[in-house]
Amino acid sequence: MSKWGRVRGHRGTSAVNNVNVRSMDNKRRLLVLYATDTGNAQDVAERIVREGERRHFATALHSTSSYEPNALPVEKNVIFVASTCGQGDPPPMMKNFWRFLLRKSLGEHWLEGTEYAVFGLGDSGYQKYNLVAKKLDRRLADLGAKQIVSRGLGDDQHRSGYEGALDPWLVNLWAALRERIPLPPGLADPGKDDLSSTKLDSPKFRVMYHHAPPVVKLQSLTIAASDALRAVQEDWTEHQRARVILETAAGETPRFIEPEGPGHCPDQAVIAKMVVNRRLTAEDHNQDVRHIEFDLGPDAVKYYPGDILTVIPWQNPEDVDAFLRRLSLDGDAYVTVEAAQSERLCSWNDPQLLQLDPVKVRTLVEGVLDVSSASPRRYFFEVMSNFATAEHEKERLQYFATSEGRDDLYQYNQRERRSVLEVLLDFPSVQIPLEWLLQLVPRLKPRSFSIASSERAHPNQAHLTVAVVEWTTPFKRKRHGLCSTWLSKLDPSQGEVHVPVWITKGSLKLPPPSVPLILVGPGTGCAPFRSFVEDRVVSSESGEVAPILFFFGCRKQEKDFLYKDFWHSCTENYKVMCPKSGGGLFVAFSRDQSEKVYVQHKIRENRELVWRLLQSGAAIFISGSANKMPAQVTSAFEEIISSEGGVSREASVRWLKQMELKGRFGVEAWS
């Protein structure tokens, strides 16, 4: 259990709304449950709660990690908002909830008195688009619940993003609920996008200023700390306190994964020392890919091939200063934050958490609020309109907050990836109070990287393969990924560099040494497979191991053939990828010839070798960009199974599905 305990709570209805619904029938209670990974599903859920309160529903909001699923049968109306991660996976916060719903003991009448609606958030560029919402919808129906309205599926590929499907879905939802549950006499339903008659909601937070700084006891280091190490630990400790202060005030569950031990959750992060940061790609190549090595310290953090190393990036101090100046905030002022409602909304395992020490405003901004890379969401613009003093700015912001202005907002905001700071600079008359900023500015999110090393090959170390993210917006504005750019600029040759990190389980798991492997990892997708191959090399020094086929892809042999020397070394002298041992290395250089060649072409070219390994029980793992590669590579394997095995294409699809169920087929992909 995290030292901060486990929360059970939710944001309730506003005080005004409680007066309206106190005497109403329980039918007007509306429970909204969300499962989020990046925060979008939570944003949608909060919007549903706001609109529900304006329509005089008694609303309750929970994450799927803070709600007890065995209470579902007593609910009359439940709205689910669920994201799909990776290749059809539920967000981590939903996994226990989903396992509960899959219990066979629940039966087909378990939710007979409950009516529900599901809205999913996904990306049609992925093979298993919105699979979580689709499966949830079917399962709720199987348990006896009745649909209020057909499920909605938000698509990041839509020209307006997921809101392109959300807006019409909400219109249908409120119409269906109005028909089923008429308003009591004397109450009116607000009109569509009626911002003028709907006054600003009350903020969720109350901010209190303090004159004296807190007395903070830092955890003692297990080794004699250098000034650089101690400075990083002090900053990290303060950032963690700031996060917990906001999580406490919001009634959120701070941690939903039980840590295995030190180094496996943010509360127990390891302050790792960066020892190597070198460029892998040629200096004149347009893509900067870095090889980074961390020393995890003498108290070795155990990890396994396929595991993930996670960090929270540091923001540019100049952006933090600009944000504070723009909003006339005193960064050195000390504040505490609590729920704006007077009633206590959540119960804690540790009552001492209710007296959290003050923290600097600057610490809240630099450690919790993503002011320099995340784009604000639509509600941000609606709230801004209430604080704009220039009439032309107010009108534009109000337009952005309507359904009619949705596409224009998407072009202005999401397509250009404008940051919170940039938006605020575009509307200089807007002065938003701190309590609203703490509610509206997206949180600074952890970034996860596949570990590119074997702990057995590199004791006490973890290696990363990091592509520095750069792109140009439709209006030709240069953009840079916050975390990858920050990491790329850390230079251990110029002095000590320390980064708080922790390790979590990845979606890929290395099978026993006796299982042959077929690995497909173009670009930085090779990172987890460097870990796999290194671990197999160590195993081969003390016994027999099965062969490995590795399919790698890049643009040019002389520019971005990542870890070329390592891969070639593993093909020699009967090592794990040596052709004489049944293994092989196959590289697709897509731009070294007139016709583009990709990994799926190399797989088809070597179909007999692939089929031979599949017949001997090989496992297939794919890692890399989620754009088209996973689907095209999977299709190549289906084709080989069908042609070489003499079965139908449908049967080859089932073959791979059975492999997946047995842990012998896996995909790790990212946008």
DSSP character string of 463-516:
EEEEEPPEEE-TT--EEE-HHHHHHHH--GGGS--EEEEEEE--S--PPPTTS-
Task: Give residue 92's pLDDT.
Answer: 85
Residues in the chain: 671
- pTM recorded for the entire structure: 0.87
Asked whether the predicted pLDDT for residue 345 surpasses 50, the reply is no
Residues forming the annotated binding site for FMN?
Answer: 83-86, 156
Residue carrying structure tokens 């092989």: 584
Q: What whole-number distance in Å separates Cα of residue 402 and Cα of residue 523?
A: 41
Give dist(CA 121, CA 130) in Å, integer.
6
- 8 Å CB contact between 518 and 618: yes
Cα dist from 448 to 36, 130, 148, 207, whole Å: 16, 22, 37, 32
Q: Which two tokens stand for residue 604?
A: 């088809």
pLDDT band (50, 70, 90) for residue 252: low
For tokens 């200023």, name the residue.
209
Binding-site positions for NADP(+) read 524, 590-591, 596-600
> In the structure, how many helices (H) and strands (E) does the chain have?
20, 24
Indicate the annotated binding residues for FAD.
Answer: 417, 447-450, 481-484, 670
Could you count the other beta carbons within 10 Å of the beta carbon of residue 298? 8
CA distances from 280 to 293, 294, 305, 465 (A): 13, 16, 21, 9
What DSSP string runs through 392-446?
Answer: HHHHHHHHHTSSTTHHHHHHHTTTTT--HHHHHHHSTT----HHHHHHHSPB---
Angle CA 441–263–232, to nearest 5: 60
Residue 6 pLDDT greater than 80, yes or no: no
Q: Are 276 and 293 in contact (CB under 8 A)?
A: yes
Give the class (CATH, top level) of 8-180. Answer: alpha beta
The answer to whether the 8-180 and 510-670 domains have the same CATH topology is yes
Residues 6+ apart with CB under 8 A from 564: none
Give every CB contact of residue 273 below 8 A, 6+ residues apart in sequence.
229, 294, 295, 297, 492, 496, 497, 498
Q: Which residues of 167-189 are buried (b: 16+ CB within 10 A; e: fewer)?
A: bebbeebbebbeeebeeeeeeee
Q: Determine the average pLDDT of the residues in 454-479.
A: 94
198-251+314-443 maps to CATH 1.20.990.10: yes
| Cα 124 versus chain centre, distance | 17
- CA 635 – CA 158 distance, rounded (Å): 25
Backbone angles phi, psi at 173, to 5 degrees: -60, -50
pLDDT at site 192: 53
Whole-number mean pLDDT of the chain? 88
* Spatial distance between the Cα atoms of 180 and 148, rounded to a whole number of angstroms: 9
Task: Determine contact, residues 265/255, Cβ cutoff 8 Å.
Answer: yes
Q: Provide φ and ψ at 114, rounded to 5°.
A: -110, 140
- Which range is least confidently modeled, 133-137, 180-184, 195-199, 661-665? 195-199
pLDDT of residue 265: 84
| d(C-alpha 567, C-alpha 559), whole Å | 16
How many Å apart are CA 6 and CA 252, to the nearest integer?
Answer: 9
Question: How does residue 352 score in pLDDT terms, banded at 50, 70 and 90?
Answer: very low
CB 10 within 8 A of CB 251: yes
- Residue 212: pLDDT band with limits 50, 70, 90: low
Helix (H), strand (E), coil (C) string for 87-120: CCECCHHHHHHHHHHCCHHHCCCCCCCCEEEEEE
Burial 212-230 (b: 16+ CB within 10 A, else e): eeeeeeeeeeeeebeeebe
Q: Tens digits of per-residue pLDDT, 480-521?
A: 999 999 999 999 999 999 999 999 988 899 999 999 999 999
Q: Is 63 exposed, middle or buried (0-12, 13-18, 19+ CB in 10 A)?
A: buried
Task: Tell me which H or E stretch contains 359.
Answer: strand 359-360
Q: Is the dihedral of CA 134, 138, 140, 141 positive or negative?
A: positive
* pLDDT level of residue 362 (50, 70, 90 thresholds): very high
* Positive or negative torsion for Cα 656, 661, 666, 667: positive
| Exposure of 21 in the CB half-sphere (CA atoms within 13 A) | 23
Cβ–Cβ under 8 Å, residues 625 and 669: yes
- Evaluate if residue 222 carries a pLDDT over 70: no
Q: What is the pLDDT of residues 47-104, one digit of tens each?
A: 999 999 889 899 999 999 889 999 999 999 999 999 998 778 898 889 999 999 999 9
- What's the confidence (pLDDT) of residue 257? 43
Q: Which fold has domain 510-670?
A: Rossmann fold (3.40.50)
For residue range 155-208, list pLDDT tens digits in order: 988 888 888 899 999 999 999 999 999 888 877 777 654 544 457 888 989 999
The mean pLDDT value for 456-469 works out to 97
Query: Is residue 355 pLDDT above 70, yes or no?
Result: no
Q: What is the pLDDT of residue 14?
A: 36
* pLDDT value, residue 585: 98
At 534, the amino acid letter reads E
| Contact present, 93 and 36 (Cβ < 8 Å) | yes
Going by C-alpha positions, the residue among 539, 514, 506 that lies closest to residue 618 is 514
Tell me which DSSP letter residue 201 carries: P
Pairing relationship of beta strands 461-467 and 548-554 according to DSSP bridges: unpaired
| pLDDT on residue 251 | 74
Domain ranges (residues) in the chain = 8-180, 198-251+314-443, 510-670
**Cα 406-410-411 angle, rounded to 5 deg:** 120
Geometric angle at alpha carbon 242, from 236 and 245, rounded to 5°: 145
Percent share of the chain, pLDDT over 70: 89
Q: Which pLDDT score is estimated for 320? A: 97
**Residue 109 pLDDT exceeds 50:** yes
Q: Please report, in range form, the residues annotated as the binding site.
A: 83-86, 156, 417, 447-450, 481-484, 524, 590-591, 596-600, 670
**Range list of H helices, 128-226:** 131-142, 163-180
Instruction: Report pLDDT digits (tens) over 610-647.
Output: 999 999 999 999 999 877 899 899 999 999 999 999 99
The confidence score (pLDDT) of residue 127 equals 75
